[in-house]
């Protein structure tokens, strides 16, 4: 079950700040929308409503979750760049997934992601080395996330959920 829950492995925080890692993480985030659209184009309703594992979310729920999660990520980046170590407000992902908007066609989430990733990529491409050291405090994990850490996390998040969606393609 672990390989279904974490198809690219569990996330681990980077131990050092290396420029080549950051370039790779940014590239994953920047290109994610296009890669996601490639994977979901042509998915049937049955595939979209298939869970990637027992008691897991459906592909449709995962896609809507990504839009919500990455919306929060963009705001967290902006807070971190404009405030001094802000404390973020966590949200209950599992409850979001039960809201009515998660049953909408995936186009609504893809539209959000397209614009959001354009804005997020532009911000990341303009950031200085010192900007990557800025960050936010996450009260649920009781941890400070530098924007360097956040880039690593959201790069992993992109790959993690893209693999979940691919699992829904092969389950039918």
- Whether residue 10 lies inside any domain: the answer is no
pLDDT at residue 17, rounded to an integer = 85
- Whether residue 11 lies inside any domain: the answer is no
Name the pairing type of β-strands 135-138 and 143-146: antiparallel
- Whether residue 13 lies inside any domain: the answer is no
- Whether residue 72 lies inside any domain: the answer is yes
CATH code of residue 129: 1.20.120.450
pLDDT at residue 58, rounded to an integer = 96
- Whether residue 154 lies inside any domain: the answer is yes
Based on the structure, what is the number of domains in the chain?
1
pTM to 2 decimal places: 0.95
User: 32-50: string of b/e by CB count within 10 Å (b at 16+)?
Assistant: bbeebeebbeebeeebbeb
Supply φ then ψ for residue 145, to 5 degrees: -105, 115
Listed in sequence order, the DSSP H helices in the chain are 2-5, 19-40, 45-48, 59-82, 93-96, 107-126, 147-171
Backbone φ/ψ region at 101: left (φ over 0), alpha (ψ -120 to 50), beta? alpha
Q: Which domain holds residue 107?
A: 18-171
Asked whether 147 and 127 are in contact (CB, 8 A), the reply is: yes
- DSSP 8-state assignment for residue 52: S
- Whether residue 26 lies inside any domain: the answer is yes
Angstrom distances, CA of residue 153 to CA of 38, 58, 99, 100, 107: 22, 22, 25, 27, 25
Mean pLDDT for each consecutive 10-residue tract of the chain (172 residues)?
A: 92 91 96 97 95 95 98 98 97 95 96 97 97 97 97 98 94 58
Residues found in the chain: 172
Burial classification of residue 163, based on how many CB atoms lie within 10 Å of its CB (0-12 exposed, 13-18 middle, 19 or more buried): middle
pLDDT at residue 172, rounded to an integer = 53
Residue 65, token pair as written in the block: 């979750």
- Whether residue 7 lies inside any domain: the answer is no
pLDDT at residue 99, rounded to an integer = 96
pLDDT at residue 171, rounded to an integer = 64
pLDDT at residue 140, rounded to an integer = 95
Q: Whole-angstrom Cα distance, residue 33 to residue 85?
A: 29
pLDDT at residue 16, rounded to an integer = 87
- Whether residue 28 lies inside any domain: the answer is yes
pLDDT at residue 147, rounded to an integer = 98
């Amino acid at each position: 079950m672990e390989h279904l829950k974490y198809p690219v492995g569990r996330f681990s925080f980077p131990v050092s700040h290396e420029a080549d890692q950051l370039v790779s993480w940014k590239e994953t985030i920047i290109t994610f929308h296009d890669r996601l659209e490639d994977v979901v184009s042509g998915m049937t309703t049955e595939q979209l409503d298939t869970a990637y594992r027992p008691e897991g979310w459906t592909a449709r729920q995962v896609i809507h979750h990504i839009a919500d999660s990455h919306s929060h990520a963009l705001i967290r980046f902006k807070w971190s760049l404009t405030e001094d170590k802000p404390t973020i407000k966590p949200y209950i992902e599992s409850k979001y997934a039960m809201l009515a908007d998660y049953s909408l066609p995936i186009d609504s989430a893809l539209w959000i992601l397209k614009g959001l990733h354009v804005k997020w990529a532009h911000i990341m491409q303009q950031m200085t080395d010192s900007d990557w050291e800025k960050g936010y405090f996450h009260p649920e994990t009781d941890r400070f996330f530098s924007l360097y850490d956040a880039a690593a996390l959201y790069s992993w998040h992109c790959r993690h959920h893209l693999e979940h969606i691919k699992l829904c393609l092969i389950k039918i």
